[in-house]
Structure 1
Amino acid sequence: MNRWIPRLGLTLVTISLVALLAWALWPTAVPVTTATVAAGRFTESVREEGRTRLRDTWHVSAPIAGFLQRVTLEVGDPVEADETLFRLEPSPVPALDARTRQQAEDSLQAAQARLRTAEANLDTVRADRRFAEAEFRRYQQLHSRNLVSTAELEQRRNQRDRLVALENAASSGVEVARFEAESARALLDVASGQRIAPGDIPELEVRAPVSGIVLSRYRCCEGSVAAGEPILELGRPSDLEIQVDLLSMDAVRLRPGMPVRLTGWGGDALDGQVRRVEPAGFTRISALGVDEQRVPVIVDFEADFTPQAHGLGSGFRIEAEFVLWEADGILQVPTSALFRHQGEWHVFAIDQGRAWRRAVVIGRRQGLVTQVLSGLEPGELIVNHPGERVDDGVRVARQD
């Protein structure tokens, strides 16, 4: 009996070692995260950042070159149609240098001398005309008494008429000389570069073409402006719209009238709709340095939305979600649970603690969620983010 005791102890030790070795070599369960297959509302959409803008703007510029009076309107001020926006007056005459000024003074003195000469000539001709008129009246009286001939009377009349014409010519010469003197004096009066006193010159009033608000003010202070130089930009807040530059592969899926959800502007989500997809695209370089073909898409706010009441203006950032398709009761799984195997889409379904590879047919995709057409049932548990250790039939342990 005593000799069986060492053998029994050795047997027990051997069995324990074998059990310990089997336990050490037994495959452990792979820890995984899981997701439940569920049916719910599914929305396929395209998201992109956009900017608000005004459909129409009016750039008001100076119609002629001149001197701009101070613009009192500021950005954001409302204006009514036909309201005066700013005024223009003729540009000041540039200042003269010393040589030109001396020439101008000499020209003024010469004009004044010609004026005095013309006035003296007018006085002489006027005196001769008065004498000729008196002579003609005397000859008329003598002719009535037959003391002088008719020829002598006609001669006096002719002399009187010639002197009347000379007087008119001399009077016109005085006017011309006076205008020349005034012109030479005006040149010296305004040639210092100073503006003419207000009220002495006409002003051009530029009026608002439409009712709206001032969007930009390019000039505020008085000064000389060139013809066509922009002064103000006007717009109507009610014409606010959104421009979103989408990838061309997304833009071709849009149609006018499609619903749009507007978020990320600082308030509650708003509703809008696609008004126009531009027919021409452009190239834009992405943040990664890749050339992208973008297409402008114009979105309108809902009809009863007032942008000003919500603080929205032109050039504001906004996020637009274009709804391409949506429905209820759609079976869906996380996109991260799908993987390709032998050219088909599969997931790992969990059954009795083991992961089993299962083929599925997928439909639409929307970011982190994908529609499942067949292969799964609602409520089933699947592996999310399957790693390299997960294989068909492997024991798994949930880490959720």
Structure 2
Amino acid sequence: MKKGRRWIRYAIWAALGLGLLALLAWALRPMPVPVNVASVSVGPFTDSIIEEGRTRLRDTWNVSAPIAGFLQRVTIEEGDRVAEDDTLFRLEPNPAPALDVRTRQQAEDSLQAAQARLRAAQANLETARADRRFAEAEYQRYRQLHERNLISTAELEQRQNLRDRLRALENSAASGVEVARFEVESARALLAVASGQRSESDQPVLQVRAPVSGLVLTRYRCCEGSVSAGDPILELGSLDDLEIQVDLLSMDAVRLRPGMSVNITGWGGEPLTGHVRRIAPSGFTRTSALGVDEQRVPVIVDFADGLDLATLGLGSGFRVDAEFLVWAADEVLQMPTSALFRHQGEWSVFVIEAGRAVRRSVEPGRRQGLVSQVLSGLEAGDTVITHPGERVAEGVRVSADE
């Protein structure tokens, strides 16, 4: 009887020991590694390049003093609209002009040079008119042939495009003639003053007129006083010629093509649209805020047609954010870029399966910010570990942080 009780005590102590060992093993077991997770999903994906840019005018006109003289007060201010041939400012003779033979000879040479430029501009205009007339005749002949189904529509459109471009060249040549005429008038005025032929009166001796219609962008001089020939007085421009210059990294610029869409934001109003007009063929070096030399390439962006930029309040030298749309799709398999890491030369991710981390090789595609396209290796709904640390390895038990 006593022997049976002794075996019972031994069995109880053995059970208690085994229980303590089991409890100790449970307490010392490896705890799951806490990780951040994200799901692989299908949705819209946009591959874009975002960079800061500045607005500028494609063409500006600096109106300077054609001769040395006494400038009257300039009443025109920045933002004022002027029409072509409006008086911008007036010049009077200096109180004591110093005229000599050399000044007269220089004025005569300037007049002859301006007249030569006028003749060259007129010759260019005649050439442009002849080319335009020939292009219009060719277009009419091609249209008749197209009506008879003897040529393709593409050939007719090429002739129409050629005709339109030659019309634009004719308009440009006509503008060149007008500019040359103003240069001749300025040179004649200079010669007249240098020769002492202008009559003395209380009226302004010389009225400098606007070469084009537009806005006054900058007023360099406002107060009266003596000026030298060539001193800038006003800068004119038209907001219809407003464009954006964006200096992109060369590695981003090579991905762009003329005509690509651009979203314009960060200017203080609703997003606007535009397109890439030109990518500069040469770049330059610029030091970043971190002291790193970067190769930048200027990219010119045109606003979409039909925008009234003056009403929107945009002007020259304004800051904007330009987003270049390189590629976009509606149904793209994507995941966080932070889940990617390199393993034996391959891109990989950790996927959670049955509470454990399983490494998978993946093929990423395009990247945009914090999101990457998945070409192969994952499926929609898979749970991946983002920012995997050193504790995460193949087969390790993990727990997702809430």
- Partners of 2:336 and 2:392 lie apart in 1 by 17
Q: How big is the shift at 1:291?
A: 1.2
SS of the residue 2:251 aligns to: helix
State the AA in 2 paired with 1:84: T
State the AA in 2 paired with 1:352: A
1:343-376 superposed Cα distances (whole Å, 9 cap, x missing partner): 1111111112111111111111122111111111
The aligned residue for residue 67 of structure 1 is: 70
The aligned residue for residue 297 of structure 2 is: 295
- Partners of 2:204 and 2:222 lie apart in 1 by 21
The aligned residue for residue 13 of structure 2 is: 10
SS of the residue 1:370 aligns to: strand
The aligned residue for residue 110 of structure 1 is: none
- Partners of 1:361 and 1:80 lie apart in 2 by 61
1:11-50 alignment runs, 5 A limit: 11-50=14-53
TM-score (normalised: structure 2): 0.72
Q: How big is the shift at 1:304?
A: 1.2
The aligned residue for residue 136 of structure 2 is: none
- Partners of 2:255 and 2:345 lie apart in 1 by 27
Q: How big is the shift at 1:17?
A: 2.0
- Partners of 2:285 and 2:386 lie apart in 1 by 38
Change (3 A) 1:270 1:84: same
1:242-391 alignment runs, 5 A limit: 242-391=244-393
Give the stretch that moved more between structures: 215-224 or 361-370.
Answer: 361-370
State the AA in 2 paired with 1:281: G
State the AA in 1 paired with 2:90: R
Give the stretch that moved more between structures: 282-291 or 214-223.
Answer: 282-291
- Partners of 1:374 and 1:253 lie apart in 2 by 24
- Contact 2:72–2:89 (8 Å) recurs in 1: yes
TM-score (normalised: structure 1): 0.72
Structure 2, unpaired ranges of 5+: 98-199
Q: Size of the alignment, in residue pairs? A: 298
Q: How big is the shift at 1:243?
A: 0.2
SS of the residue 2:67 aligns to: coil
- Partners of 2:314 and 2:95 lie apart in 1 by 43
State the AA in 2 paired with 1:58: W
- Partners of 2:326 and 2:72 lie apart in 1 by 54
1:86-235 alignment runs, 5 A limit: 86-93=89-96, 199-200=201-202, 203-235=205-237
Larger radius of gyration: 1
Query: Quick one: percent identity of the two aligned structures?
Result: 68
- Partners of 2:203 and 2:310 lie apart in 1 by 42
The aligned residue for residue 133 of structure 1 is: none
- Partners of 1:269 and 1:385 lie apart in 2 by 34
Q: Does 1:55 align with 2:67?
A: no
1:219-267 superposed Cα distances (whole Å, 9 cap, x missing partner): 0000000010000011101111000001111111211101111111112
The aligned residue for residue 398 of structure 1 is: 400
Give the stretch that moved more between structures: 248-257 or 199-208.
Answer: 199-208
The aligned residue for residue 181 of structure 1 is: none
1:256-282 superposed Cα distances (whole Å, 9 cap, x missing partner): 101111111112221110000111211
The aligned residue for residue 236 of structure 1 is: 238
1:39-74 superposed Cα distances (whole Å, 9 cap, x missing partner): 111111111100001111110000000000000011
State the AA in 2 paired with 1:294: R
- Partners of 1:75 and 1:324 lie apart in 2 by 38
- Partners of 2:288 and 2:399 lie apart in 1 by 42
The aligned residue for residue 119 of structure 1 is: none
State the AA in 2 paired with 1:47: I
- Partners of 1:345 and 1:279 lie apart in 2 by 35
- Partners of 2:24 and 2:65 lie apart in 1 by 96
- Partners of 2:78 and 2:238 lie apart in 1 by 13
Q: How big is the shift at 1:93?
A: 2.7
SS of the residue 1:3 aligns to: helix
Change (3 A) 1:297 1:334: same
Structure 1, unpaired ranges of 5+: 95-197
- Partners of 2:398 and 2:308 lie apart in 1 by 56
SS of the residue 1:394 aligns to: coil
State the AA in 2 paired with 1:208: A
- Contact 2:90–2:204 (8 Å) recurs in 1: no
Give the stretch that moved more between structures: 238-247 or 23-32.
Answer: 23-32
The aligned residue for residue 77 of structure 1 is: 80
